[in-house]
Structure 1
Amino acid sequence: MNRIFSGVQPTGNLHLGNYLGAVRNWVTLQNDYECVFCIVDMHAITLWQDPAALKAHTREVAAAMLAAGVDAKKHILFNQSQNPDHAQLAWIFNCVARIGWLNRMTQFKDKAGKNRENASVGLYAYPNLMSADILVYKATHVPVGEDQKQHLELARDTAQKFNSDYGVEFFPLPEPLILGSATRVMSLRDGAKKMSKSDESDYSRINMTDDADTISLKLKKAKTDPLPLPDSVEGLEGRPEAANLLDIWAALSDGTRAAAIERFAGRQFSEFKKELTDLAVAVLGPINSEMKRYLADPAAIDAVLKSGAERARALSAPILAEAENLVGFLRP
């Protein structure tokens, strides 16, 4: 069976974009792949994190994944820092990947901003850690959003160069899986910006921890335009907020943008938002309740992550050992 690796950063509560673009797809993919799901806390500290908040967010993300249907008994769920094999292989990849490759990574430019000289080395080099995350398990497929495709290409390039440097066919070239109708959910306050945990306005996103009243309020306040909903895809031209809300409806209903347009053509946003709220609450409400149940027992969450890390290392240890042998590291 093909193996999937996928990770999410614990830098705040998961939101609707994470659920529709990633977590929901992970639950579906469990039926067809061997899955390794990772809460990438090592990636998180490329930007400074409050230590207590990082621990809390790691548990919250784990709770959200479990509540959404990730099966931690059949598959593997753990936090990255519990398996040092990731960092060990990342150092090898630091010596395989080229500076020019990292210089082309647009996410570093976006996150570092104008103050690039003050950015951490970790922020610059973290695509090599991402490559190690994937390849230390010899994952064959990686579910990614459009904004992560470049990093997966780097992982493929790194695997190929390692294989070429050492004259082997050792690491696979992982393939991207871009799934679903809402792989890129946009902000509720600005349809041109991606929904993000880091946005200052909590009204820009629906968090997985939001209750029904909060979801209703956020969708009621979601930015729109004065026109009725369009009757064709072409009618969405220049209307990013309308497109975003229709795409959210489509994803939550397991439908398409075209079907959403057909259903709501010519209707006012106020009417559409009421139906969208009912749908969002119906889908997210049970997950919210399950999350609260998990978070009431943090020791149980920690036990799941510990067990997952042990199983993850059982997979990664022989792969890392062979990679080190190929490099020429002496081991007793």
Structure 2
Amino acid sequence: MSLRVAVLDDYQQVAESQADWSGRLPGAETVFFPRHIADPDELVAALAPFDVVVAMRERTAFPREVLRRLPRLRLLVTTGMRNASLDVAAAAEFGVLVCGTGGYPTGTSELTWAMILGLVRGVAGDDARVRAGGWQQRVAPDLSGEVLGIVGLGRLGTQVAAVGAAFGMDVVAWSPHLTAERAAEGGARLVGKDELFATAKVATVHMVLAEGTRGLIGDAELGAMRAGSYLVNTSRFGLIEEEALRRALAGDRPAGVGLDVFDVEPLPDGHWLRTAPRTLLSPHMGYVTEQTYRIFYGDAVEDIAAWQAGAPVRTL
């Protein structure tokens, strides 16, 4: 019986062209699924004939109940080295090896700045205005000399900080365990959480979603933001308390919110955020770049080949 490989959530239908699937996996049958399968029963039925599944980030969840119902599955490859939607302990219990990949050069930090500039300069609104026959109707604020507040100064936060400094912004940062020394190394000045939200012209979020960080930004933080300030989240939606965000957008601050991440993805039809005022929405495009995809799918193929050879690498 030949090896059967399922590649999930190939939205753009490019996965096959991003790696040498046939050359590196001779004799294997690889099937690419462009349509997201949200229903667990439908997912189990679709994946029942496969030995290997390649999952794109957290687009499709693999909880214990789904893994239990896939007795043929032996290898689960997730793009990246962290995936909160996979029950790794259950996978081990059912004899499924979980591997990851490299990735994430600069795509998310680049999109963060696209969203910051899009909000501050009102790019989407100006585009619509010109197409409708209009012209200048607003005066854009400046970023130079303003405060850029970074919530989470890891790899991505540090990349974002460097651009803020290049724009002449006063870069400040906070996270629960950030030290003044580490903040300085990342190109920022350590401040308290309250000060960050009270002073930032732009607050941008770059934290891992965990039990201790869920709902990190709520009524107090959003209410403390200055009039004319902006909030951008390209990390995980759960870092912001949803109802607090809804209340804030029904009020007068922040002046704009940029979101690349949502609690349910793809964002359901009729979701309140689709018509929320003062928002700039992106369909989780932070990591969706040519370079990142080449790394993701290339490493996935290498993981499968190494597993076939009995020497798996990049295990979670």
Query: Please, what TM-score do these two structures have when normalized by structure 2?
Result: 0.29
Relative to total residues, which structure has the larger strand share, 1 or 2? 2
Larger RCO: Structure 1 or Structure 2 (Cα < 8 Å, ≥ 6 residues apart)?
Answer: 1
Higher helix share goes to which structure?
A: 1
TM norm structure 1: 0.28
